[in-house]
Amino acid sequence: MTGEVRPQGQGRPSWEARRAALLKGRRPGPDVLTFGETMVALRGSGPLKLGGTMAVSIAGAESNVAIGLSRLGHPVRWAGAVGDDEAGQLVLRTLRAEGVEVSAVSTDPDAPTGLILFEPRLPEVTRVHYYRAGSAGSRLREDAVERAFAAAPPRVLHLTGITPALSPTALSAARRALQLAWENGSLVCLDVNFRARLWTAEEASQVLREWVPSVDVLIASDDELPLCLPAGAAGAAGAAAGTTDTTAGTTDPGSGPGHDPAAAIAAQAGLLLELGVGEVAVKLGADGATAFTGDGSLHRPAQPVRAVDAVGAGDAFVAGYLSALLDGADLAGRLTRAVTTGAFAVASPGDWEGAPTRSELGMLGAPPGTVVR
């Protein structure tokens, strides 16, 4: 039935078997399918109220991942909706130029392409202003993902927690995508990407908890993990590590005697693995990232770089992680590539502009002042 998520966790193969199936041969379709809203992005040079010039680009978590994967040599399809306007043409033109396949994208004649404004306010603080209510992207429907799967099923379906928060139709589209992934044997990657401006923690938890049994790779920041756990489970895991459950579905990472953040993260990741997730990658910002599987955990520190713009770093991390997974790299290789692509994003202005190509991945190890000739 359309709009319902099939319970993949019941009787599906082990994560090892699912990952082996991913690496066995190549499908005629894309390596990755992702979908959501991509907006026109305007970046100011300072406070918006003072005016000045603005740089024009595009931005969207899912398309950021698509561009990052394309630059690493993977065939990627992005599905979504744009307005029948110049802004929509900029979105499509940019994605095509970056090698992202957009044949499943629809053009909405009755709604505009969304807009996002970036306002640098302090050297390390940027305010973001969204103008996406009623946009074409927020009106995404099930037929967009059905067209994308009909063209050729992907090896991996990549979802974020942003798209289902946009509208009831976008939520239905995401649920339909999960169902089609099950029917076509595609792995599912979920980047939680919680946006408090789009929905509450309670609303997000209701959806994410429903999806967890269908997820193969779950990527989240440490404060997003509780959103994916059953009611009360996050608090129990936090209590075991000395944290205190302060709100529905979340924990306060800075409270409790003998508090151990790493133990709390490990406990929460362990619960997600028990619920059927294949592996959990936790983004820790400047502290790097830790991945958890049924065989244990592995940590990788962040790559040292001069930070320029942290926007888009999480999406770049996802692109690197999925790229290495598709290449058959082990857990260490997946984490290493993810923190590397994340570092490229931090070291460059913009959402996706600094994403590396495969040949550039080794550049971060070069000594200062290196000139590549």
Could you give the residue numbers annotated as active site?
Answer: 315
Residue written as token pair 């942003």:
162
**CA–CA dist 168, 164 (Å, integer):** 7
Query: If we measure between CA atoms, which residue out of 309, 297, 331, 336 comes closest to residue 320?
Result: 336
321 and 282 Cβ atoms separated by less than 8 Å: no
Contacts of 202 (CB under 8 A, 6+ apart): 248, 249
**CA–CA dist 285, 267 (Å, integer):** 19
Write the CA distances from 159 to 7, 180, 223, 233, 373, integer angstroms.
17, 13, 19, 24, 39
132 and 81 Cβ atoms separated by less than 8 Å: no
Sheet with 115-122, side-by-side order of all strands: 54-59, 39-44, 115-122, 125-131
**CA–CA dist 226, 285 (Å, integer):** 18
